[in-house]
Amino acid sequence: MAETEIEWTDATWNPVAGCSVMSAGCTNCYAMRMAKRLEAMGMEKYSGLTRTVNGQPVWTGAIHEDHGSLQTPLSWKKPRKIFVNSMSDLFHDAVSDRFIEQVWEVMAATPHHHYQILTKRPERMKDLLVGWKKQPLPNVWLGTSIENAKVANRANALRKVPAAIRFISFEPLIGPVGNIALHDIHWAIVGGESGPNARPIREEWIDQIYDQCSIHDTAFFFKQWGTWGADNKKRSKKANGRTYRGRTWDYMPPQAFAI
């Protein structure tokens, strides 16, 4: 586990490493660059997870299930919001059903933590969890990533997932998502892309999501503008900041605080 600067969580826990490119939102994935760096530092867990294509690291599709890290949250006594698998996707096809179940067992045994799981594979998440026929864990938030309208249908699968809290990460937001329906979605995170090859974000795309949040009473969290600011100019993400409509938006789903 590691402390993190991600604005909407407190720490990360990576029982799985490695992934595959799924859609346009994966193109500049920070985890690919980080995995390459960690491999160069001699960390066996990240060995063979990326290859170099046109000078950039790209996932090979290899997956490492790290059984040694499964028990780590049991030793973290202070309650935390924990982003599960910032370096992978727990519902990748190569992650075994049994390993996912073991992750669930650890989360069930640590109800003082809140776990936040994001996937670009909500169909597998739905099929697996529905098949378990278990009650949702109240401390587990389940979400999917949507970067543009081409993958907006992921929200439909997410709505069918048995979960105490469902959320969508619209990051990196690289295109409009239209009037995406957010009923039965408790939380929406919005953010622009960062890094040297970042693609622009547009305020009107954020407006679409904000309006739907207002209609469906979905908590709205604006993470960052990223490399491209509200004025469509390129600069550091720190310089562009996190202000939208003249203020910051750090709302969390109210259901989380009722646990």
* pLDDT tens-place values along the chain, 259 residues long: 578 889 999 999 999 999 999 999 999 999 999 999 999 999 999 999 999 999 999 999 999 999 999 999 999 999 999 999 999 999 999 999 999 999 999 999 999 999 999 999 999 999 999 999 999 999 999 999 999 999 999 999 999 999 999 999 999 999 999 999 999 999 999 999 999 899 999 999 999 999 999 999 999 999 999 999 999 999 999 999 999 999 999 999 987 776 5
Residue type, 92: H
Distance CA 69, CA 252 (A): 28
Cβ proximity of 256 and 141 under 8 Å: yes
b/e burial code for range 86-110 (CB count within 10 A of at least 16 → b):
bbbbbbbeebeeebbebbbebbeeb
Whether the full predicted model's pTM is greater than 0.85, yes or no, is yes
Residue type, 72: T
Distance CA 26, CA 19 (A): 10
Cβ proximity of 91 and 119 under 8 Å: yes
Class of domain 11-15+64-250: alpha beta
Facing residues of 44 across strands?
A: none
Phi (first) and psi of residue 2, to 5 degrees? -145, 145
What pLDDT was estimated at residue 3? 82
Helix axes 97-108, 122-132, angle to 10 degrees: 70
Cβ proximity of 142 and 168 under 8 Å: no
What pLDDT was estimated at residue 255? 78
Residue type, 187: W
Cβ proximity of 202 and 170 under 8 Å: no
Cβ proximity of 222 and 253 under 8 Å: no
What pLDDT was estimated at residue 1? 55
What pLDDT was estimated at residue 2? 76
What pLDDT was estimated at residue 259? 55
Helix extents (H) in the chain? 30-40, 97-108, 122-132, 154-159, 203-216, 237-240
- How far lies 86's CA from each of 21, 89, 252, in Å? 15, 8, 19
- How far lies 53's CA from each of 58, 59, 87, 167, in Å? 7, 10, 19, 33
What pLDDT was estimated at residue 256? 77
